[in-house]
Structure 1
Amino acid sequence: MRNNFIATLADVAAQNPKIWLLSGDLGYSVLEPFAARFPDRYLNMGVAEQNMAGVAAGIALSGNTVFIYSIGNFPTLRCLEQIRNDICYHGADVKVVAVGAGFAYGSQGYTHHAIEDVAIMSALPGMEVFVPCDPIEARIATQAIAASGCPSYLRLSRAGEPLLHLTPPKDLRRPSVLRQGRDVIIFASGPIASACLAAADRLATEDLTVGVLTVPCIKPFDDAFAQEVANGARLFVTVEEHILRGGLHAGVLASLALVQDRPPVLGLAIPEPTSKITKAGDREALLEAAGLSAATIAKRIRSALAQLS
């Protein structure tokens, strides 16, 4: 996903001389193609994310579009005050790109687990938030935020994510159908959509039709779409590699708040950490522990349906 992002950004920068990229002293073997093609528009800011956000705001307010790039929590939480004050409150055309969403850097421990970032970035004024599920959505999201003219957050996983779309979606601000189904509708945010498709395959053997939707745009959230698909479903399920508060689940619940006879909503997410459950490990092991493997997602949906019977 990150390689797809940088290749797309380089293509966009070739057409737009106002595109800049700032890095927080990482991206080696990833960012070099951009740096080599556009040395006058690439800066390695070092391990100084607060300064990187402030410099990005200054370059953007001089008439440019600036992408800042670092791992998970570092271009978001470490420089949150600068993003809020320097970027958002001035409407600066800065794009915050975090690689390593969720448990992608799981072995590095909790400092590298990006599991609250969507909620925090969504709360900032004027900030749009994109969470692509595969390299296709990452490419389209990069193109979209490069042209949007407003502060943006792009949440990427790491590398090796499978392609989930058969055809590219036309508009990432509207959810896309990955699998048709009406009994259960799963809203998925990010690469966890792959596990949701596998869970839907398991449930399909039980005379259930399970739809899987990818929701790459968390803010602004497409309220109308959620309200449209609510009619006739037995159960809505939200699945995200993030805590339950402030992310996809919150957006779906807010959209359905005024819908009469809406289906119940089951939220599947990473439990909020405590000292007892904070762990390090590879992504798959941590997702399993969080109840977000394909088998566990299917099991939890079965349990929720049984309670509705």
Structure 2
Amino acid sequence: MDTMRERFASVTSRLLDEDPRLAVVLAEIGADGFRRAAERHPDRVVNVGIREQLLVGVGGGLALAGLRPVLHTFASFLVERPFEQVKLDFGHQGVGGVLVSAGASYDWPAGGFTHMAPGDVALLDTLDGWTVHVPGHPDEAETLLRHAYAAGDEKVYVRLSAQTNARPRSVTGEGFLTVRRGLPGAPVVIAVGPLLDGVLAATEGLDATVLYAATVRPFDGPALRAAVADAPSADVVLVEPYLAGTSTAAAGDALADVPHRVLGLGTARAELRRYGTIDEHLAAHGLDPRSLRTRITAFAGRVTAAAG
């Protein structure tokens, strides 16, 4: 199976042939995947070199010229380093584009903290109007990328990851999917992107409803409300592959008139200073199935063995 980044390069290269409005801006990273596309479309595949602020500025300029820009590099260089340009060149100027990141929270541990961006989604939450997709499988990445490219002039962030679920889900670019339904009043666990398989393993045999979120912004409040509709109060656990608590406020807003408790699980703020592996970082943040089961059952005292 190809990776999400490989799928991104192949799908986007094909769409460059089909859509004269599409343009790709790179900052060295990922340039090999677009070499042939750059030969065919030298005016719409631009490599600015290791200049991340310029990467975003050029993207904003292409958007002002009427193109649909696609910007790609590591998340830490795409959202964190040039954040002022993202805020001004897209938000303030009122134009749209698609930011496609790699690296996620700890996809390349040997790269150190400079190549990790656990706070990227939380940072974009400080800006208005961004759609955020977090695919959990390369097939989902393709669907969500196509959805993002066709989204008129909207501002879209697609967060690619080396971590994947075993199989894709039928994502549409909007809303949450119900992948497991508990009894009325059962706790609701929202699994984001590549953490779905771990959540399903962690909740196996428990009475819990599991919602899957491959699109996290806008936050699907109606789906969460529907999942707790039969309960006098709600216990909600958010399991996100980035900074813990990133979506707790959104969940709380959705349940503003419902008695509820929300537990946000994700990466911790403390920096892990040993390289290790992705799986070791997953476990260290308490996001492996065993840790998730312990944390979910400790929080939601009503979790019991599933009926039948």
Counterpart AA for 1:87: F
Does residue 266 of structure 1 match 2:270? no
Following superposition, the deviation at residue 123 of structure 1 comes to 1.7
Report the counterpart of residue 241 of structure 1 in structure 2: 241
Instruction: Give me the whole-angstrom Cα distance separating, in 1, the residues matched to 2:149 and 2:161.
Output: 19
Shift of the 151–305 alpha-carbon distance from structure 1 to 2, 3 Å rule, reads closer
Pick the aligned partner of 1:114 from 117, 126, 144: 117
1:224 pairs with 2:227 = no
Contact 2:99–2:158 (8 Å) recurs in 1: yes
| Separation in 2, partners of 1:45, 1:111 | 20
For 1:194 and 1:163, locate their aligned partners in 2 and report how far apart those are by CA, in whole Å. 7
SS state at 1:30 partner: helix
Range moving further from structure 2, 286-295 or 10-19: 10-19
Q: TM-score when scaled to structure 1?
A: 0.88
Q: Which amino acid aligns with 1:83?
A: V
**Which residue identity is paired with 1:131?**
V
1:23 to 23, 26, 30: 26
In the TM superposition, residue 17 of structure 1 has moved relative to its aligned partner by 0.6
2:251 is aligned to 252
Alignment match, 2:210:
212
Mapping for residues 60-209 of structure 1, pairs under 5 Å: 60-148=63-151, 149-158=153-162, 161-165=164-168, 168-169=170-171, 171-182=172-183, 183-201=186-204, 204=205, 208-209=206-207
The answer for the alignment partner of 2:7 in structure 1 is 4
**Which amino acid counterpart does residue 15 of structure 2 have in structure 1?**
V
Question: Which of 56, 60, 63 is 2:59 aligned to?
Answer: 56
Do the aligned residues in 2 keep the contact of 1:68 with 1:95 (CA within 8 Å)? Answer: yes
Shift of 1:240: 0.8
CA positional deviation for 1:13: 2.5
Contact 1:73 1:113 in 2 (8 A): yes
Q: Aligned residues: percent identity?
A: 27
Task: Note closer, same or farther for the CA distance 1:39–1:211 as it changes in structure 2 (3 Å cut).
Answer: farther
Question: Per-residue CA shift, 1:180-228, capped at 9, x if unaligned?
Answer: 3342321112211221122122xx1xxx233322212222222211111
Q: Structure 2 unaligned segments of length 5 or more: list them.
A: none
Structure 2 CA distance for partners of 1:141 and 1:308, relative to 1, 3 Å: closer
Whichever residue aligns with residue 121 of structure 1, its letter is L
In the alignment, the residues of structure 2 paired with residue 36 and residue 240 of structure 1 have an alpha-carbon distance, to the nearest angstrom, of 39
Provide the secondary structure at the position in 2 that maps to 1:192. Answer: helix
* Contact 2:176/2:214 (<8 A) preserved: yes
Gaps of 5+ in 1: none
Other structure's SS at 1:76 match: helix
Q: Distance in 1 between matches of 2:35 and 2:12?
A: 12
Contact kept, 8 Å, 1:91 with 1:126, in 2: the verdict is: no
Distance 1:31 1:252 in 2: 39
Contact 1:133 1:214 in 2 (8 A): no
- Distance apart, 1:127 and its partner CA: 2.0
Alpha-carbon displacement from aligned partner over 1:230-264 (angstroms, at most 9, x marks no partner): 2246632110121124x233322221122x234x3
Residues 66-118 of structure 1, C-alpha deviations (whole Å, 9 max, x = no match): 01100121011111111111111112222111111111122211111110000
Distance 2:15 2:208 in 1: 37
Matching residue's letter, 2:267: I
Q: Using the alignment, how far apart are the partners of 1:114 and 1:303 within structure 2?
A: 28
Asked if 2 retains the 8 angstrom alpha-carbon contact of 1:106 and 1:283, the reply is yes
The one-letter code of the counterpart of 2:155 is: P
Measure the CA separation in 1 of the matches of 2:128 and 2:94: 9
